[in-house]
Structures are given as structure tokens and as C-alpha cells.
Amino acid sequence: MKALYLLRRSIDRVETSVFLPSQTEGDVVLLEEGVSSGLSHSTGEVFSVREGSSYPYVSYDEIIEKIFTHDCVIVI
């Protein structure tokens, strides 16, 4: 199953078991507080809505497209 994680919280406020690669793989989009998080994710790509971030930029239109191309969406 390929999940799309929409990370709204800072990574230090998220249960790390959410990202266990044995359960699912997928991409992460950093939003709101999550944009300032340093995240290492090995089973997918990490994107940011903030231009100039250390992660590739993703527009809101691209996020909508990703929602429909993944099996599930997990908002954290």
C-alpha cells in the first residue's frame, strides 16, 4: 500500500511508528509546522510547500494530484 503523509505537526510531536517501512511506503508532504521539521524518510520522497526548503517544493495543485495517486492519505 502506498500512503501519502500530510505532516502538519513538527516531527518531534509525531509518533515515530507512523513511518515504519514494514507497514507501508509512501511520500511525505510537509505543511504548516511540519515545514520546519528535519525528516529522514527512506520509503518515499519528502516534499515541502515552502520554496527554498531543503526538500523539493510541491504546489497545492500537485498535492491534490498526489492525493488521488496514492492508496491512502494520512494527515498528522
| Domains: count for the chain | 1
CATH number at residue 6: 3.40.1260.10
Residue 13 grid coordinates: 510531536
- Pick out the chain residues at pLDDT < 50: none
| Phi, psi dihedrals of residue 17, rounded to the nearest 5° | -65, -15
Residues in a beta bridge with 73: 4
pLDDT digits (tens, 9 = 90+) for 48-62: 888 877 888 999 999
Length of the chain: 76
Domain range for 38 is 2-75
pTM over 0.95: no
